[in-house]
Structure 1
């Protein structure tokens, strides 16, 4: 598009970020500038929309909008923009994200599921899309009959406003009304309110995207991809993270034939590598995929050029018989498996060049034979992968790094079917979490590194893990420490790339500890992490413990280990679990007869006494021992299997926890039991503090519709962000009688158990069991457990004992930690047991001992 045909708009005219507490701290738009810029377009948005194209599709969609406005108007969460005339008369009309006084229930279903009318989605239709320069047309032609079954079905599947909003935003970016993002995140989050203002006036005769150019694929996976893109770009903030060329490319995807769109989304969900088209079969798309592969290649969404691909990659794509065939043609030994044959071929390819002038080199001969067999092949270009990776990140920035694109689409499908419901949020705010385009790109790179290192650990590829750890170390060394100094909330700092690189580096430490040659590198990394004070301060205690452990067990330097432990105890960021673990290490050092000086022992003893005077002492919990028959011993990291007898006759095999559960419920004191671990306290916590979790506004706490918890829940700031509401809730609960409290908890459990949240949906057989546990624990017990989690959810969500047993007739319960042979209590488990005991709850440690019995020979 010629720049001369497009009148540019300055950032200070149409794109302002306003952040304020009580008074505005931004800059207001000048009505005079807007008059000069768009004197011919000073009409409201409602008037502008009446002048859009008059096509069958636009009439059809307009009728759908009327239906949606009547039936689902309350579900719309689209960004309201300000037209040029509105800006002149009412400059305070801006997009704001602030706490509302009135509750708003938002619909968290899939925001877009599209099915189009037949006239624009005939099979195989290809749109000749180019952004058009056309006058706006009248939209007065008749609409389809409102009783049309197809129309009602379409309206049920589509969020028309999202599609229109996205297209308008893309057009506004093309003409310069929306400009590249450059947010001052520190200022944004220091204020209570975030506002963004820009003109929504469409320049007449400008090149623009049009709704009628979209070909709706009418297929689940392709519809989901369209939904994702439209949902992301319906928020104008997200448009500012992309270039105009990228947005042109994205929009052009949805002008391709339905089959090509269906094929593309399936390639996107597959392993991102080269694929032989002959091995890809999607009969639900077409029996012949070649035309659609060609369409994707011609439009730039696939590449088929193998010339720059490395020879080992080419050979690896071949079947073993094909590799053997090449060996035979090149007079190479063709016996053996595929890796051996590939090794011989690569050796041949790296051999000396031919002595004959003009003859091909061995490497060229090898590559040509492989290419002849492989053709045709396709893969997604790197720029396409990166482009959609950024879009998916904006849609779901908190997706579990162990999940893939296919997992994301599975979630979208489950949401659309109603199989997954996310909690309704009071306020779906649109606070930015990325400063600019470069910030987003860097974050995606670090996020992919985290995803990769988790996959490598699962494969136990320790060499590759170490390489990635070294790469993360180099990335952190490039960062100016002044750039990491931030006043951002802790939950927003998670989107700073350096935060993720710190996580990658921390995860890699175990791989460096596996060989004596790399122990020193593990020490260097831990020292680097400890020196890093901008991110993950809550992990410093663990890093100190790791460093002290290396000195004690790997290097046998007890003095250095003691020195590190004593120094660590002086840190202010330590958790209760950290302090307890470091004290236990000092006790072990004190028991050593050699390797540690008397002077160091005196220092240790002094520190122990000081901490004991502060009450940091773990009391021993009552324990019992039971004996049973072991069917198989636990492998490393696994669980042992035990023979369990029911009613003195029937036998089955289960875990040590199930054995203990059967032992306790067989007694008359407790008739019901549950293997719960951390699921019980987290469920109690979610039911108890649901309003504070999902109905309290905190800027940036919810950045996606597919979130099961506020982001700040996993930081030290969660309590302070909601202190007033939490304290009021606890005061309210303690004023209730037990019957009222249990009914209140049961009602809330029934209401909230349907949602995917932090609580478990499968722990209890029914709500009556939940009510009985609440009754047996009592107000003090439930409130005490919830207070512990609200103080530091990230720390205390784990470590809770294994079992809870109760008797609804006597209103008594017992909480039990089960330990098999050779298993010991962790420091966190000890602290949980001690805390529960202080609440007046009956707790116990059950040790299970037994004899080995091979189940296969019974």
Structure 2
């Protein structure tokens, strides 16, 4: 029902192609869309001579050849830098060392000028001359036809609804899924075992799917422009998307999307456009257009149907813009109050809003608004012993350790690299390492002979090992919609815990009360039955062996493990980040520490503050380890 007869005919025609033609088309389809020089095509496994195969695809309407290449920018993009220099030299442009992009721009400018040749009834324009010579230089070329490619992209997009609409492969048509299927068929990848149960209809009709596909491609284009730092181009794309969404947002079909469970609603056109407008906020801020950014945020927050998991970030950003950039104190305070009253504002964003209110309360300029600030609900983390003068750290950690290391000379804004002494007295040596590796070495010298730098993946892997059967349990409609999922679709929503509450509560009680041997057996049972399966909740290479994972759960104990698993099960979306960098323990005495490591000029995020407080409440030995640089006057060495 989501494809018309013409589109179904394209699929039928593809099945009628020879094996060689199908194989070549799939390889061309997976490449970046654009023209390709024929002489660069080499697929010996398909055929030594690809010309007959190309001819078959062209005859069937799946490929275009150079006879249809008529746009000068596309031809210039096809040429190599030396070929462009040769072409530019013909028209007395550029110089031998000219770069590709400036030369192409110069040729395009020249092509837009009127012809200097006056003879003849229809004199050729400069652009036509440049086009002909560029095509002669490029030689035979080909490109997959847009129409059939769009059909297959849409089919793969539909197949790939288990991916986030922000993922490049999903937004561009799910080409990555082809590789996944191949790897599964070759036996190189295995997914967890579960039962596929499709219950809800995500797309109501073909037009609904077309609108979603168009929005997903726009999101992909905007993400690409942002990644390349092309903020003005990204801004223009967002403006176009905003106009499209304004026309579409009251379409009758969108009302049916509200009836979908939240974890399927993310595959609707409204969700994708909301993601686009959220990206627009970042773009506007990059361009210092804070007034427009505030308007965009207020528009986003005025609805509650799409992207509720982003509301905390939106409120936080709105408060920041109103307070710091626009100096509108009363609206900023009201924004904080509304944000703290929003049940979708969780963990770090909630703490961030409250801490902003505390700073405003202490500001002399906010004296007249203190009655509003006094009415806000208090959001605090557990106060602990102060062991240094750094107030933020002292409030949030039971103890603070400062170790020193020699900072390695470096350029740019990358992470700090330190020089660590390695080897023994007989063979001293030095090694370059990260701030976390330097901290691991410090704890190793302090008696913790085992340690892992895994951040959240260490704890998420333990969560996956201890709750594997519940995470992939049967009976949850639409949580698994195809055979290539590494996680249930509802994992990052509140419905994950709600749909499995009895099973999760029973398991958490067992974990809390379990002795060390029972925990070890639990981890071993899952590891031995599922090792290697592609599950996003388990990183199989996080531990050097099963025994190391068992040793760690023995040290952590049931109360800490059950508490961590509870938070992840209840709000995986917001709690998967912010866990401590290191876990260190002693294999003999079973002491352990959970350590957040901070290098020079680094500080705790709000999510890290919340997790440190929570872990301490669970009885874990938690600390923040500061690594300071010595041997240099500043961050970099001369």
What TM-score does the superposition give when structure 2 sets the normalisation length? 0.89
Residue in structure 1 matching 2:597, options 818, 835, 840: 818
Partner in structure 1 of residue 107 of structure 2: 345
Partner in structure 1 of residue 267 of structure 2: 495
- Alpha carbon RMSD of aligned pairs, Å? 2.7
Cα distance in 2, alignment partners of residues 833 and 529 from structure 1: 31
Q: For residues 783 and 246 of structure 1, do their structure 2 counterparts lie closer, same or farther at Cα, with a shift above 3 Å needed?
A: same
Query: Offset at 1:701?
Result: 0.7
SS of aligned partner of 1:817: strand
Residue in structure 2 matching 1:376, options 113, 119, 140: 140
Q: For residues 529 and 419 of structure 1, do their structure 2 counterparts lie closer, same or farther at Cα, with a shift above 3 Å needed?
A: same
Query: Offset at 1:837?
Result: 0.8
Contact 1:303/1:381 (<8 A) preserved: yes
SS of aligned partner of 1:629: strand
Q: For residues 254 and 476 of structure 1, do their structure 2 counterparts lie closer, same or farther at Cα, with a shift above 3 Å needed?
A: same
Contact 1:433/1:700 (<8 A) preserved: no
Query: Offset at 1:267?
Result: 0.8
Contact 2:519/2:550 (<8 A) preserved: no
Partner in structure 2 of residue 433 of structure 1: 202
Residue in structure 2 matching 1:279, options 15, 28, 40: 40
Alignment of 1:231-246 (within 5 A): 241-246=2-7
Query: Offset at 1:567?
Result: 3.1
Cα distance in 2, alignment partners of residues 617 and 624 from structure 1: 19
Partner in structure 2 of residue 642 of structure 1: 418
Contact 2:516/2:553 (<8 A) preserved: no
Query: Offset at 1:412?
Result: 2.8
Partner in structure 2 of residue 564 of structure 1: 335
Cα distance in 1, alignment partners of residues 145 and 47 from structure 2: 23
SS of aligned partner of 2:341: coil
Q: For residues 481 and 300 of structure 1, do their structure 2 counterparts lie closer, same or farther at Cα, with a shift above 3 Å needed?
A: closer
Give ranges in structure 1 of 5+ residues lacking alignment: 1-179, 181-240
| Residues 242-290 of structure 1, C-alpha deviations (whole Å, 9 max, x = no match) | 2232222212223223322222111111110112223323233333322
Alignment of 1:409-448 (within 5 A): 409-429=178-198, 432-448=201-217
Query: Offset at 1:764?
Result: 0.5
| Residues 556-601 of structure 1, C-alpha deviations (whole Å, 9 max, x = no match) | 44444333223322323221322211011122223434xx331213
Cα distance in 2, alignment partners of residues 543 and 835 from structure 1: 24
Alignment of 1:833-848 (within 5 A): 833-848=612-627
The answer to whether structure 1 residue 715 and structure 2 residue 477 are counterparts is no
Cα distance in 1, alignment partners of residues 143 and 313 from structure 2: 43
Alignment of 1:410-559 (within 5 A): 410-429=179-198, 432-478=201-247, 479-480=249-250, 483-484=254-255, 486-516=258-288, 518-559=289-330
| Residues 495-523 of structure 1, C-alpha deviations (whole Å, 9 max, x = no match) | 1111012112212322221223x333322
| Residues 15-60 of structure 1, C-alpha deviations (whole Å, 9 max, x = no match) | xxxxxxxxxxxxxxxxxxxxxxxxxxxxxxxxxxxxxxxxxxxxxx
Cα distance in 2, alignment partners of residues 359 and 599 from structure 1: 76
Cα distance in 2, alignment partners of residues 499 and 840 from structure 1: 40
Q: For residues 440 and 791 of structure 1, do their structure 2 counterparts lie closer, same or farther at Cα, with a shift above 3 Å needed?
A: same
SS of aligned partner of 1:663: helix
Query: Offset at 1:734?
Result: 4.4
Partner in structure 2 of residue 235 of structure 1: none
Cα distance in 2, alignment partners of residues 700 and 683 from structure 1: 24
Query: Offset at 1:698?
Result: 1.2
Aligned residues: 610
The answer to whether structure 1 residue 250 and structure 2 residue 11 are counterparts is yes
Partner in structure 2 of residue 82 of structure 1: none
Cα distance in 1, alignment partners of residues 22 and 373 from structure 2: 67
Contact 1:633/1:639 (<8 A) preserved: no
Residue in structure 2 matching 1:728, options 506, 511, 523: 506
Contact 1:694/1:710 (<8 A) preserved: yes
SS of aligned partner of 2:405: strand
Cα distance in 2, alignment partners of residues 633 and 328 from structure 1: 41
Partner in structure 2 of residue 171 of structure 1: none
Cα distance in 2, alignment partners of residues 630 and 358 from structure 1: 70
Q: For residues 358 and 448 of structure 1, do their structure 2 counterparts lie closer, same or farther at Cα, with a shift above 3 Å needed?
A: closer
Query: Offset at 1:365?
Result: 2.7
Partner in structure 1 of residue 386 of structure 2: none
Contact 1:631/1:852 (<8 A) preserved: no
Larger Cα Rg: Structure 1 or Structure 2? 1
Q: For residues 315 and 748 of structure 1, do their structure 2 counterparts lie closer, same or farther at Cα, with a shift above 3 Å needed?
A: closer
SS of aligned partner of 1:438: helix
Cα distance in 2, alignment partners of residues 736 and 423 from structure 1: 26
The answer to whether structure 1 residue 692 and structure 2 residue 470 are counterparts is yes
Cα distance in 1, alignment partners of residues 472 and 106 from structure 2: 61
Give ranges in structure 2 of 5+ residues lacking alignment: 384-394
What TM-score does the superposition give when structure 1 sets the normalisation length? 0.67
Residue in structure 1 matching 2:356, options 582, 585, 592: 585
Contact 2:200/2:260 (<8 A) preserved: no
Partner in structure 1 of residue 609 of structure 2: 830
Cα distance in 1, alignment partners of residues 101 and 453 from structure 2: 47
Partner in structure 2 of residue 290 of structure 1: 51
Cα distance in 2, alignment partners of residues 302 and 588 from structure 1: 63
Cα distance in 2, alignment partners of residues 634 and 450 from structure 1: 33
Partner in structure 2 of residue 765 of structure 1: 544
